[in-house]
Amino acid sequence: MAKTYSQALDYIYSFVDYSLTRNLRYSPEKFDLKRMRAFLELLNNPQNNFKVIHVAGTKGKGSTAAMIASILTAGGYKIGFYTSPHMIDFSERIRINNVLIKHIEIANLVNQLEPIIKKVPELTTFEIITGMAFKYFSDHNVDFGVIEVGMGGRFDATNVVIPQISVITSISFDHTKVLGRTLKKIAFEKAGIIKENIPVVVSKQKASPLNEIKRIACERKARLIYAPDHYRVETKAHSLDGQTFSIKKAEDSFVDISIPLLGDHQIDNALTAYACVEELTNLGVKIGSNAVTKGFTRIKWPGRFEIINRKPLIIIDGAHNLDSFKKLSETIRKYLPGKKIILIFGASEDKAVKSMLETIKPFIKILIITRSEHPRAMELSKVESIAESLKLKFESKDNIKNAVGEALVHCDDSTAIIASGSIFIAGAVKENFKG
C-alpha cells in the first residue's frame, strides 16, 4: 500500500540517523561510502546526470551554497539545491529554482525507492535522503545541482559526486567528537571533498586549516582559488534590510553587490560565492553580470539573523557553535547598537555552551533557557548551571511556546528578542511566533 507523506517521513526516519545519535564517533565502519555507491548504482547513478557544485565547511556553507544557486537560477539555469538540516519543513532540503519539493513528491519518491532501499543493508536516513535528492534532480533534468555536505566531507554521503568545482567555507570547531579536536583534523575531513584535477574555491581561513586544505589540493593536483587573495571588498552601507558592498578583482572595476543577509560574515560568504561563479565562467559556463547582481539580491536563506517581526523586534539565528556566536555578537554590535538582548537559547549537548554564552553575555538583558524537541538537545538543568556560573539573569521554560511568551513579557523598545543556539530553536521560535 502506498505511503502518505507522513508515513514516508516515518519510514525515512526509521533507519539509523546519526544526526540524532548521542556520543557519535566518526569511523570508516559507520560512514562507508560503499553503501551509498551501491544505492546509487541501483538508481542508475542519477548524480552523474547534472553538473555539480559541492560545498563543505563548518560555517557559511548553507548561505554560500544558497547564493551560488540563486545566481545560477538568475542566469537562466535550472538549479537543484540540496541542503540540511531543515528548519521547519522537511521539503526545505530539496528544491529546484528555490521551489521546495512538494509533500506528494516526497511520498512518491519514497514509494518508488522502497524496493531498492531494501536491497542495500544498513543504509542510513541521510543516505536515503541524499539518494532521493539526486534522483529528483535527475528526473527533473536540472542543469546544476548545488549540493551542501551534511557533516565533515570525506565520508559524507554527498561525497560520491564528481563536481565542476568544490567549495570549502570557513572552518571552525564543531562536532569535535566526530571530526577531531584540532582545526587541522577538521580541515582534513572537510577537504575530503577535493577531487583530482577539480578546482577548489576556499573562503577566508585561519592558517592551520588553510595549510591543510592547500596540502590536500596540491596532492590531488586541484587548482586552489583562495577568495581573499583574488578579490578586494569595500563595504558601503548596512541596515536591518540588508547590506551593500563592492567586490574588485585586481585588474577589473568594482562590482556593486546588495544582499538581504546581515553580518560581515555574509560578505565573506558572498565573496566565496562570487569566486565560485567566476571560476564557472572560466570553465565556459555563461553567466551574465546581471545574473550575478540579481542572484545576490534575490537570495533567500532563512534563519540567519532573520527578522521575523519588527515591533517588537524578534530575530532568529541558527548560530550553534563558538565561532558563530562570535559572529552573532559582532552582528548585534553593528546592527543593534544600544539594544539589550532577550536571548531565547537552547543547544545540542555536544556544544561549547559556556563559551557561547560568555561571548554574548555583554548584550544579554535576560536569558530564556529552553530546549527543542531534538533528541540531542541539552537538558535545561545543564544550561541553568552554566548560566549561574556566568552570573546571568535567566528564566527556564520547558517548551518553545512558553519561552516565546516569557520573552515577550520582558520586551520593550530598548530590547530585541533573539532566538539562537541551534537551527532547531530558531525554526521552532519562527513557527510558534507565526502561530
* Rounded CA separation 39/129 (Å): 11
Query: Which amino acid is residue 265, in one-letter code?
Result: H
**Nearest-10 crossing angle of helices 103-117, 5-12:** 40
**pLDDT averaged over every residue in the chain:** 92
Under the banding of pLDDT at 50, 70 and 90, the label for residue 400 is very high
Output DSSP code: residue 89. -
* Rounded CA separation 143/164 (Å): 12
Q: What is the mean pLDDT of residues 287-294?
A: 94
Residues 6+ apart with CB under 8 A from 140: 78, 80, 96
Tell me: the pLDDT tens digits for 294-327? Answer: 999 999 899 999 999 999 999 999 998 898 999 9
* Rounded CA separation 172/265 (Å): 13
In the chain, the domains with their CATH numbers are: 5-297 (3.40.1190.10), 306-434 (3.90.190.20)
The H or E element spanning position 63 is: helix 61-74
Helices (H), 220-288: 227-230, 264-282
Tell me: the pLDDT tens digits for 331-370? Answer: 999 999 999 999 999 998 888 899 999 999 999 999 999 9
Exposed (0-12), middle (13-18) or buried (19+): which is 19, by Cβ within 10 Å?
middle
Under the banding of pLDDT at 50, 70 and 90, the label for residue 16 is confident
* Rounded CA separation 238/394 (Å): 32
Q: Over 60: is that where the pLDDT of 29 sits? A: no
Q: Which residue do the cell numbers 513579557 mark?
A: 409
Q: What pTM was estimated for this model as a whole?
A: 0.92
* Rounded CA separation 104/125 (Å): 19
Q: What is the mean pLDDT of residues 383-388?
A: 96
Tell me: the pLDDT tens digits for 248-275? Answer: 876 677 899 999 999 999 999 999 999 9
Tell me: the pLDDT tens digits for 64-89? Answer: 999 999 999 999 999 999 999 999 99
Q: Residue 41 has what pLDDT?
A: 98
CB atoms within 10 A of CB 75: 22
Q: Residue 22 has what pLDDT?
A: 47
Q: Which of 204, 213, 29, 55 is nearest to 144 (CA)?
A: 55
Tell me: the pLDDT tens digits for 86-99? Answer: 999 999 999 999 99
